[in-house]
Structure 1
Amino acid sequence: MSNDVASTDGGASAAPPTRRRRALWVAGVAGLTGVVGLAALGGVAARDDKPNSDRVSDAQSTNRQNVSDAGGSDNAGKEDGAKQDGGRNDDLSGDDWSGFDDRSGKDDKRDEKDRTEQVPCDTDKLIQAITFANSKDGGVLELAKGCTYTLTRNQDGDGLPVITQPITLKGEHTTIGRDATADYFRILNVGPGGHLTLKGLSIKGGQTLERAMTMDAATVWAPYSPSVRGTAAKPADAPGTAAKPADAPTAKPAAARAATVAKPAAKAQATSSVAAKAAVPTAKPATAGPATSPLVEKPGFTDGAGVLVQPGGRAEILDSELLYNQSGGNGGGLANFGTTRLSKTTVAHNTAFFFGGGIFNAGVLQVDESKVKDNTGIIGGGGIANGAAGIFTDSVDGGSAWVYKSEITDNRTLGFGGGVLDVGGSTTLHETTVSGNTALLAGGGVAVADSQLSLQHARVAGNSTAGVGGGVTVAFDSIATVENTTIKDNTAGFFGAGLFNEDSVTTLRDSEVVGNRAVGPFARGGGIYNTDGGEVTLHGTWVAHNFATLPPGGIFNNLGSTVTLDDESSATANRPTNCFNVPDCFA
């Protein structure tokens, strides 16, 4: 499945190039539930379709382009060289964000004051103000300081009207939340052509565990139409008292569809498979707003319990919080299928039944100076999931995710990628800490499959897994570049407590892999474990003080795989030994 995320102005897609992905990539990491077999086999012959080190430069180029697409300023090239390293851009506002509304131009500042409306601490008034702003080409809504707007009803699974125009919601210690006893629904939905800006708000308690028993749109939103803008809805006329139409949906529809996954013809053994899977119902798109490109990756009805950004939609979440939201699909706090930026924002205590406990991305995502902590993604991506594997749900190709000067901590999953998971996308972690995360099967800190990963001036520390790759797991034809990064004090129950590399190309430059521990009864490769024809290259990198139950404690290289150390790299002081099957490395 491709991920064609087109820009709302009709420009070129900002998504990374579509590449082949294993339909069920979990089947190979195996292997992760029966990964002991790798030790018993001792080695696997290299296959003809392995990636090679020549592709590493392409991965770097792609990541930098994706960072620019994610909201970087075109003027970033005029900054000093340090700011350009790895796609860094200190001007995070960028023309791509400020120029979203083509109609405004020079009139933006003048019009903003004219379009600003004070919204009292009244939920009905908030709904009414959003409805009016949608009908009047947007607006700026200043919410009451310290107020909690409690939502008790919904329309098509949304607690507030779908955002179809440029709308800003400003608050100060202000909360928009779902009443705990209300039907299940998300808080905010940004439709195609909509541009939502949140400032100083807490989005709290959205819940999308099942398809809500909703009423028709006219019944719910009629009291808040522009014609009655100046009056509040009377309690007697509240939509909650109306009878539910007989044709209201009562259950999530399901339909079978076939998906063909084929390897490229250039592969030595070209094969194809057809798998039937249930289609997830998509969120109802907004009927208003400008025309957009055809949608390819569509959100499920239960995706994004806090905020959902549909393809063609945009969101900026600034100085805000996404808290205690629970998704029955992907993206507990946020599900982004369009273009979203989070800045100085906390995403915490959210849950997703599938992928992305805190954040799910299938579009263009930028996270800067933010905290993603204490979230749970049941299958994968406890903190952030960039894409989803086809496990109990539809597969979704990841988009472009760039995380800068942020913290991804104390997140968890029963599957893959306790902190960060990427499936078929491109992820860059720049000056970011990934620590204290856990995954049962693989990638306690970070896990990627058929993806491009870049770690720049990052820290991956204190993460754990019962399976493989306590710090980082790179699998299934992925390309990973690790620069000026520390992979430290991570633990694994089987292989590769620091780094597990399978069928992929990983390059480490000026980095260190230290103090990692593979502690299970069959565990080995405390620092690095490379297998299944993978390639690991170390430039100026130190692998030291790692431990494994079975030798080696430093670097294990399976037969048919390749590990290369340059003259400035070393593997020392690992226990019980330093290396196995690694040239120029003393055991």
Structure 2
Amino acid sequence: MPCRADALIEAITAANSAGGGTLRLTPGCRYALTQPRPDTDSGLPPIAAPITINGNGATITRSTAATTPDFRILEILGAPAKLTIRLTTISNGISIGDQVPGGGHSGGGILVREGGALAAAVITVTGNSGSVGGIHNYGTAQLTDSGVTGNTGAWGGGLNNTGGTLSLVRTLIRDNVTQSDIGMGGGIYNSQGGTTTVTGSVISRNLGIDNGGGIHNEGNLGVSDSWITQNRAASLFGVPVVVQGGGIYNAGTARILRSLVSGNHSQRQQSPTATTAIAGGISNDGTENPDVVTTLERSLVVGNTAVDQPGGISNAAGAFNLDDSLVVLNTPTNCAGSPDPVPHCSG
């Protein structure tokens, strides 16, 4: 395919009309989009059929010219739409979705609508922004050997899974940020009704406002063989909140298996309106949902910090199960000071 944005647009339009197809991008090409497609908020034509993009190391990006309007990069419609994409970078998209927990069909980089599907391997989603920064999934999305880095959103800096199914395999979620006084889930926001599984992945150096620096979960979450490290939950703008869950905030059902939760931090702004900041590692919060449960199996919670105790794990009105796991060397405490006890955790 020629190294031109108009050629890529024409190829997707033709593949949609043909009921599907395979596109091979020019190796190393930078396809710079300058405007959204008519009647859409996306720079590329919405994916409406099974389409495969072999990127060959190409980048699809929103132009950096000052006159370029805001739009996301690409959108996947409902069934039978499915995008299979490899070896591609998606960057600099700006979503104009509503600033609400679901994000208003947002996703600065990629939006997967209800019934749609994304299968991505060796892709990078970076430098996108909106009410959801990188990827907003309502359907089915799987990322393998990929990176979601440096995105900015209100509800999910990196990814937001709203009632869909999200799978991350050997994927890096790093340096994503929520920038809102009500934003949560710096790396990942998983809503009620959503199912997210994280396998063999790294979630690191993300910032969430209020709750969940690395992951904010209200649905079903499974983490295995992964590292949750150096994430941060913080209050901004003097908002009087309880900041919790630098690594993971759970208000749903979470199972963490053979994983490391380390070096995460929960902090509060030093102002008269600030309240408390707890659980640098994991916060299990059942104050609004009595069925909340976190299960930690063969895992390690170590070296997490918080301004207020506990520093490692906090449990409030929920169930927390420790199975063959260690909670050690957290500051100011491991679990002491938790509103409700964390069984088999001391210090």
Q: Distance in 2 between matches of 1:304 and 1:528?
A: 39
User: Deviation digits for residues 210-252 of structure 1, max 9, x if unmatched?
Assistant: 47xxxxxxxxxxxxxxxxxxxxxxxxxxxxxxxxxxxxxxxx8
What residue in structure 2 maps to residue 461 of structure 1?
262
**Structure 1 residue 537, shift from structure 2 partner:** 2.8
Computing the radius of gyration from Cα coordinates, the structure with the larger value is 1
Q: Distance in 2 between matches of 1:383 and 1:428?
A: 15
Supply the AA of the counterpart residue of 1:442.
Q
Q: TM-score, normalised by structure 1?
A: 0.53
The answer as to whether partners of 2:24 and 2:53 remain within 8 angstroms in 1 is yes
| RMSD of equivalent CA atoms | 1.7
What residue in structure 2 maps to residue 346 of structure 1?
147
Supply the AA of the counterpart residue of 2:342.
V
User: Deviation digits for residues 266-302 of structure 1, max 9, x if unmatched?
Assistant: xxxxxxxxxxxxx96xxxxxxxxxxxxxxxx97615x
What residue in structure 2 maps to residue 448 of structure 1?
250
- Does 1:431 find its partner at 2:225? yes
**Structure 1 residue 528, shift from structure 2 partner:** 4.4
User: Deviation digits for residues 141-169 of structure 1, max 9, x if unmatched?
Assistant: 00000100000010321100111100011
Residue from 46, 52, 59 that aligns with 1:162: 46
Aligned-partner SS, 2:296: strand
Q: Distance in 1 between matches of 2:47 and 2:324?
A: 46
Gaps of 5+ in 2: 235-242, 268-276
What residue in structure 2 maps to residue 402 of structure 1?
197
Gaps of 5+ in 1: 1-118, 212-251, 253-278, 281-296, 388-396, 519-524, 544-553, 555-587
Residue from 123, 136, 153 that aligns with 1:320: 123
- Does 1:511 find its partner at 2:331? no
Count of residue pairs the alignment pairs up = 317
- Does 1:304 find its partner at 2:112? no
Q: List aligned pairs for 1:204-219, cutoff 5 A.
A: 204-208=91-95, 210=96
Residue from 481, 501, 510 that aligns with 2:295: 481
Higher strand share: 2
Supply the AA of the counterpart residue of 1:151.
L
User: Deviation digits for residues 291-320 of structure 1, max 9, x if unmatched?
Assistant: xxxxxx97615x100000001000011011
The answer as to whether partners of 1:299 and 1:337 remain within 8 angstroms in 2 is no
**Structure 1 residue 472, shift from structure 2 partner:** 0.3
The answer as to whether partners of 2:313 and 2:342 remain within 8 angstroms in 1 is no
Higher helix share: 1
Residue from 155, 170, 173 that aligns with 1:369: 170
Aligned-partner SS, 2:244: coil
User: Deviation digits for residues 516-567 of structure 1, max 9, x if unmatched?
Assistant: 002xxxxxx4434432xx45333xxx74xxxxxxxxxx1xxxxxxxxxxxxx
Q: List aligned pairs for 1:121-520, cutoff 5 A.
A: 121-155=3-37, 156-181=40-65, 182-193=68-79, 194-208=81-95, 210=96, 300-301=104-105, 303-327=106-130, 329-330=131-132, 332-352=133-153, 354-362=154-162, 363-378=164-179, 379-387=183-191, 397-423=192-218, 425-440=219-234, 441-449=243-251, 451-466=252-267, 467-476=277-286, 477=290, 478-518=292-332
Q: List aligned pairs for 1:74-153, cutoff 5 A.
A: 119-153=1-35
**Structure 1 residue 495, shift from structure 2 partner:** 1.9
Aligned-partner SS, 1:517: coil
Q: Structure 1 stretches (4+) deviating beyond 2 angstroms?
A: 525-530, 534-538
Aligned-partner SS, 1:120: coil
Distance 1:161 1:528, change over 3 A: farther
Aligned-partner SS, 2:14: helix
Distance 1:299 1:461, change over 3 A: closer
Q: Percent identity?
A: 33
The answer as to whether partners of 2:24 and 2:56 remain within 8 angstroms in 1 is no
Supply the AA of the counterpart residue of 2:247.
G
Q: Distance in 2 between matches of 1:421 and 1:377?
A: 11
